[in-house]
Structure 1
Amino acid sequence: MYFVINIIGIFVVIGIVFLCSPNKKKVNWKPIISLLIVELLITWFMLGTNIGKWVVGKIAAFFTWLVSCANEGISFAFPSVMANDTVDFFFSALMPIIFIVTFFDILTYFGIMTWIINIVGRAISKISRLPKLESFFSIQMMFLGNTEALAVIRQQLLELKGQRLLTFGLMSMSSISGSIIASYLTMIPATYVFSAIPLNCLNALLLASMLNPVNVEKEEDIVYVPPKEEKKDFFSTISNSMIVGIRMVIVILAMVIGYVALTAALNGILGFFVNGLTIQKIFSFIFSPFAFLLGLSGDDAMYVASLMGIKITTNEFVAMMDLKKHLDDLAPHTVAVAATFLTSFANFSTVGMIYGTYSSILGDEKSVIIGKNVWKLLVSGMAVSLLSAMLVGLFVW
């Protein structure tokens, strides 16, 4: 029965997004169906075949190796901390970001990451028949992060019309950065992190084409390539990457501390008026219908619903830390859908990041398109996470 409910959930999410679309007649269903078929095949390959599980295992091992390399640097600076049996979240999950950012920037510097993005982006564009820039952008933000990917195509964004600019804002809600993956692996199973990554990429394209259908002429369907003049020397690049990495660490740490503290304060206020009432319980009721559509029941559904609320109001790190404490107590299906749902940047603070990036690149006049469509960005982010979790849930019971 729960398997059937899981299938129904996929159609409910797509139906809700379709109802939210202001131009329902312009929605092209062929790319949507094509992408869904591709996603089902990818999910089956990763979770239902020995080869797929082996590939995911090798990728996870690679990122584990990257973390071990990062730990060498952290141990040099903080030997007594890293010698402990239990290492704090700041050192185990956040500090490795400094090295991971640098590593990916080195790959980009030598054209390796650009080559991968071009191949995968071109393949997605041909399969879906959606515009090239949108297809390439979905891959770029998967490796680089939403704000970094927007910065890469900034010259082309300056030439785009308002409505198409909204598409990139919608897609940016569903991103994940390669530099963050290692941090996720310290909290939730690697299998579901790497399952969520390609699914989020394709679902971002799929749902953005529904929420904001835009016709792109052939002559406008081009991808911006940064000139060689913009390329800095190698040592300047890696030095800047390390500075960017520590800034990311500080920002994430500040957000985690701040939001956890705010949640505790809000729970204290709520408990003053109603004994035992918390923000987690409120959101568990608000999001419970979607949790049930994930094929969950009873306490598991309410718990995952509370994780959804934590993620959208704070960030995925806070929710993942909570999930990590309960991994051994939850059913495999519950762990699969919860971990997949949490693997993205979709929350209120991400809306602010996207608006700030648009404002800095395009100016206040063009960035208004984001401010006027905040609800669409939130719908897009939540819908992508739900759809990815539902697809993974079909193969894990």
Structure 2
Amino acid sequence: MKYFIGIIGIIVFLGLAWLASNGKKRIRIRPIAVMLVLQLILGYILLNTGIGNFLVGGFAKGFNYLLEYASEGINFVFGGLVNAKQTTFFMSVLLPIVFISALIGILQHWKVLPFITKYIGLALSKVNGMGKIESYNAVASAILGQSEVFISLKKQLGYLTEQRLYTLCASAMSTVSMSIVGSYMMMLKPEYVVTALVLNLFGGFIIASIINPYTVSKDEDLIVVPEEEKQSFFEVLGEYIMDGFRVAVVVAAMLIGFVALIALVNGVFNAVFGITFQALLGYVFAPFAFLTGIPWNEAVSAGSIMATKMVSNEFVAMQTLSSGDFHFSAHTQAVVSVFLVSFANFSSIGIITGAVKGLHEKQGNVVARFGLKLLYGATLVSFLTAAIVGLIH
């Protein structure tokens, strides 16, 4: 029964993408089928095999070491405050972003990440049937972040068609940046975070290929990463440290605002309708949660967490999931966890639109026009990833 529901779920999510397609006759089945098979194989390896456990364990152990080193800096500045319960989340989950961001800056300065990003992107373009820019952007988004990635493509932005621009933005919203992966691992099991990172990469291409099919000629597909102004090692280090701190503070501010607003809306709904807003959203999302392989008796609660991510952000939803208020089975915990690992939420529309608009006014307006369609596609990527995990876990 699990496999039947899982297969139906995948078909439904692909069908929902097809309904929103702007070129149904241009959809190419072969690369989509190849990427679906890759998702199933890679997901199974990461979650169910010794090799996968070894890879995920090594990745998690590496991030654990980094978080331990990050805590040295946090302890030095904040001392005993680190142990204060009311500041635990900010200190232990958000502030390590500063250290991870500094490491990313060093690897960027040494040209390690640009080399990896370019050639993984080129390899992906052979699989997904899309352009080199789209493949490069998907990998770069996972390293640099959903807004910073557009800086590396600023010379191409003005020449991109609306279709290509949609795919770039969809990739940015469907992935997460490496600087905050460690923070996710403080709230979710590392194997779920790593699996979601890999599956979302292909899921973003699958959904974009259905919603937004197009072909790219060789003349249009040149990756020209702009030469950055030459900076010294310590200039780069200082810049990335400050970028990481800004991300931590912005996420903290958004959490304060969103958690408070959700509490307010829950209170109003409970007083007027006798049901909280999150519980109501849970019933709306429950059928979709069920299609990812979550048992119906847990689907409403799972749907509530999934909806919370979309209307607020993934940190709020992860904190809700890890709060201990829900007693999910291991299977449901896995499916919900992988669903949460992406930037698919309403606030990301503004972040991505602002990033593109800051670099190219006209293209920023284009992104703003398809903002809701962007969120629709990125949410389907999360559901597709969840359904794959529900099928193989």
The TM-score with structure 2 as length reference comes to: 0.96
**CA deviation after TM superposition for structure 1 residue 327, in Å:** 8.7
- The residue correspondences of 1:368-379 to structure 2 (distance < 5 A) are 368-379=365-376
Amino acid aligned to 2:363: K
Q: Specify the alignment match of 2:54 in structure 1.
A: 54
Which residue does the alignment assign to 1:100? 100
Aligned pairs for 1:221-260 (under 5 A) are 221-227=221-227, 230-260=229-259
Question: What is the aligned counterpart of 1:383 among 380, 384, 389?
Answer: 380
Q: What secondary structure sits across from 2:231 in the alignment?
A: coil
Offset, 1:92: 0.8
- How far residue 381 of structure 1 moved from its aligned partner, in angstroms, is 1.2
- Find the aligned partners of 2:325 and 2:55 in 1 and give their Cα distance: 23
Q: Deviations over 1:179-202 (max 9, x none)?
A: 000100110100000000011111
Aligned residues: percent identity? 37
Q: Counterparts in 2 of 1:275-294, with a 5 A limit? A: 275=274, 277-294=275-292
- Preserved CA contact (<8 Å) 1:175 1:201: yes
1:355 matched to 2:381 = no
Choose the corresponding residue for 1:307, options 305, 308, 330. Answer: 305
Distance in 2 between the 1:261 and 1:367 partners? Answer: 30
Q: Does 1:395 align with 2:387?
A: no
Deviation per CA, 1:5-60, whole angstroms, max 9, x where unpaired? Answer: 01210111011101110210111111111111111121121112101110110001
**Residue 141 (structure 1) shift:** 0.5
Aligned twin of 1:9: 9
- Give the Cα–Cα distance (whole angstroms) in 2 for the partners of residues 338 and 188 of structure 1: 10
Shift of 1:223: 1.0
Shift of residue 85, structure 1, vs aligned partner: 8.2
What's the offset of the Cα at 1:231?
3.4
Kindly provide the amino acid, as one letter, of the partner of residue 350 in structure 1: S
Deviation string, structure 1 residues 84-126 (Cα, Å, up to 9, x no partner): 6896100010010111111111111111112221232122111
The CA distance in 1 between the partners of 2:253 and 2:82, in whole Å, is 22
- In the alignment, the residues of structure 1 paired with residue 292 and residue 324 of structure 2 have an alpha-carbon distance, to the nearest angstrom, of 18
Alignment of 1:97-176 (within 5 A): 97-176=97-176
Deviation at 1:343, TM superposition (A): 0.4
Secondary structure at the counterpart of residue 123 of structure 2: helix
Deviates more, 1:327-336 or 1:115-124: 327-336
Which amino acid in the other structure matches residue 394 of structure 1? L
| SS in structure 2 at match of 1:230 | coil
**Please, which runs of 5 or more residues in structure 1 have no aligned partner?**
none
Contact kept in structure 1, 2:314 and 2:341, CA below 8 Å: yes
Q: Deviations over 1:316-345 (max 9, x none)?
A: 111101111239832111011000000011
Q: Please give the per-residue CA displacement for 1:355-390, whole angstroms capped at 9, x wherever unaligned.
A: 111111111x32222222122111111101111111
The equivalent of 2:315 in structure 1 is 317
Distance 2:297 2:41 in 1: 31
Q: Distance in 2 between matches of 1:119 and 1:50?
A: 28
2:270 corresponds to: 271
Q: 1:248 to 1:143 in 2, by over 3 A?
A: same
Matched, 1:209 2:209: yes
Q: Residue 127 and residue 298 in structure 1: after superposition, are their counterparts in 2 closer, same or farther (change >3 A)?
A: closer
How far apart, in 2, do the equivalents of 1:120 and 1:163 lie?
22
Pick which of 112-121 and 84-93 moved more.
84-93
Q: Distance in 2 between matches of 1:182 and 1:327?
A: 23
Tell me, in whole angstroms, the C-alpha distance in 2 between the residues paired with 1:246 and 1:21.
39
Contact 1:138 1:202 in 2 (8 A): no
Q: Determine if contact 1:13/1:383 at 8 Å carries over to the other structure.
A: yes
Report the CA distance between 1:299 and its aligned residue.
3.3
Structure 1 Cα separation of the partners of residues 120 and 325 of structure 2: 33
State the SS of the aligned residue for 1:231. Answer: coil
The answer for the alignment partner of 1:295 in structure 2 is 293
Question: Residues of 2 paired with 1:85 and 1:287: CA distance?
Answer: 33
Shift of 1:305: 0.2
What secondary structure sits across from 1:330 in the alignment? coil
Deviations 1:198-253 (A, max 9, x none): 111111112112111122111111112222x5232111001011111111111100
Deviates more, 1:83-92 or 1:42-51: 83-92
Kindly state the Cα deviation for residue 270 of structure 1 after the two structures are TM-superposed: 1.3
Asked if structure 2 preserves the Cα contact closer than 8 Å seen for 1:138 and 1:201, the reply is: yes
The CA distance in 2 between the partners of 1:260 and 1:269, in whole Å, is 14
Distance, in Å, in 2 between the alignment partners of 1:309 and 1:336 is 17
Residue 145 of structure 2 contacts residue 178 of structure 2 at CA under 8 Å; is this kept in 1?
Answer: yes
**Runs (4+) off by over 6 Å:** none
Distance 2:300 2:115 in 1: 43
- CA separation in 2, counterparts of 1:188 and 1:163? 34
Task: Give the AA of the match of 1:48.
Answer: N
Aligned length: 393
Matched residue type, 2:52: G
Taking structure 1 as reference, are residues 5 and 231 closer, same or farther at Cα in structure 2, changes over 3 Å only? farther
Matched residues in 2 for 1:163 and 1:47: separation?
34
Tell me the amino acid that sits aligned with residue 105 of structure 1.
Answer: G
Letter matched to residue 153 of structure 1: L
**1 CA distance for matches of 2:230 and 2:333?**
43
Q: Is the 8 A contact 1:174 1:201 kept in 2?
A: yes
